């Protein structure tokens, strides 16, 4: 178990700036920077009506459990009490497919700690309740089964891996309707700046195309696609 406390290197203004963008622009800038494995697998998508989230990662790792009598409640409570305000809770589940790894009570507790949303490489349940909270949860599937006796939380605030993406505590998480992208924490500001510049060029190109300018001429002017 790690008790590492992360230092959030971003402000609420940085999060608001990210939330004006979209995952495609951020992923393109990461590709350009040579970081081509930063988009989470295609199956990690928003399962809630609220489908945009941004903030530093509060990471967690769990694994399937063979003992149906086992209960990780105390670890879960300790983890929830450790969540830093402004973070996004991001969980690797060790390939567990038989239960929900996140639900309404987790969402409520995390939100009260200032957590802005959750990204789960696994299952979610209680979606009507979570939608009533307007809380964004990205997941791989729905499942009504409890995780108790099926899956254990083992560590938090440690490096985790989802698909081909390694996620460290404090890496910047951005999700929208198209999925989730992870920005390494040392690139949080540079990727934001370059993605905003791309967004501006694309906006100009879009306006030109709507006025009837040819795609070749618009591309020659803005260099965006």
Dig out the tokens for 153 from the structure.
Answer: 């939380």
Question: pLDDT at position 217, please?
Answer: 67
Which pLDDT tens digit goes with each residue over 117-148? 999 999 999 999 999 999 999 999 999 999 99
Domain, as residue range, for 77: 12-186
Question: pLDDT at position 57, please?
Answer: 98
Domain assignment of residue 90, yes or no: yes
Tell me what the mean pLDDT of segment 3-9 comes to. Answer: 47
| Distance between CA atoms of residues 49 and 134, nearest Å | 7
Helix or strand run (H / E) with residue 175: strand 172-176
Domain assignment of residue 143, yes or no: yes
Supply φ then ψ for residue 150, to 5 degrees. Answer: -120, -25
Residue 6 pLDDT greater than 50, yes or no: no
Domain assignment of residue 42, yes or no: yes
The residues, ordered by sequence, that sit 6+ positions from 193 with a Cβ below 8 Å of its Cβ are none
Count up the domains in the chain and report the number.
Answer: 1
Domain assignment of residue 200, yes or no: no
What is the full DSSP assignment across 188-212?
HHHHHHHHHHHHHHHHHHHHHHHTT
Which pLDDT tens digit goes with each residue over 168-187? 999 999 999 999 999 999 99
Residue 115 pLDDT greater than 60, yes or no: yes
SS3 173: strand
Question: pLDDT at position 26, please?
Answer: 98
Supply φ then ψ for residue 172, to 5 degrees. Answer: -90, 130
204: exposed, middle or buried (Cβ count in 10 Å: 0-12, 13-18, 19+): middle
Domain assignment of residue 6, yes or no: no
Domain assignment of residue 219, yes or no: no
Domain assignment of residue 215, yes or no: no
Domain assignment of residue 3, yes or no: no
Dig out the tokens for 144 from the structure.
Answer: 């009504």
Dig out the tokens for 164 from the structure.
Answer: 């081909």
First to last CA, the chain: 45
Dig out the tokens for 122 from the structure.
Answer: 């696994």
Taking the CB of residue 28, how many other CB atoms lie within 10 A of it?
Answer: 18
Mode of pairing for the β-strands spanning 137-139 and 45-46: antiparallel
Which pLDDT tens digit goes with each residue over 99-112? 999 999 999 999 99
Dig out the tokens for 109 from the structure.
Answer: 């507790």
Which pLDDT tens digit goes with each residue over 26-83? 999 999 999 999 999 999 999 999 999 999 999 999 999 988 888 888 898 999 999 9
CATH number at residue 95: 3.50.30.40
């Amino acid at each position: 178990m790690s008790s590492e406390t992360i230092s959030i290197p971003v402000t609420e203004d940085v999060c608001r700036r990210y939330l004006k963008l979209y995952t495609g622009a951020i992923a393109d800038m990461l590709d350009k920077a040579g970081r081509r494995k930063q988009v989470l697998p295609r199956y990690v998508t928003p399962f809630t009506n609220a489908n945009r989230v941004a903030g530093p990662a509060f990471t967690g790792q769990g694994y399937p459990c063979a003992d149906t009598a086992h209960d990780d409640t105390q670890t879960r409570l300790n983890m929830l009490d450790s969540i830093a305000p402004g973070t996004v809770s991001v969980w690797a589940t060790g390939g567990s497919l038989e239960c929900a790894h996140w639900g309404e009570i987790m969402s409520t507790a995390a939100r009260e700690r200032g957590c802005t949303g959750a990204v789960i490489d696994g299952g979610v349940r209680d979606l009507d309740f979570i939608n009533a909270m307007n809380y964004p949860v990205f997941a791989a599937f729905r499942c009504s089964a409890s995780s108790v006796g099926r899956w254990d939380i083992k560590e938090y605030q440690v490096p985790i891996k989802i698909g081909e993406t390694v996620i460290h505590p404090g890496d910047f998480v951005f999700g929208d309707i198209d999925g989730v992208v992870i920005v390494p924490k040392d690139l949080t500001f540079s990727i934001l700046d370059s993605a905003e510049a791309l967004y501006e060029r694309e906006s100009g190109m879009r306006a030109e195309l709507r006025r009837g300018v040819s795609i070749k001429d618009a591309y020659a002017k803005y260099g965006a696609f």
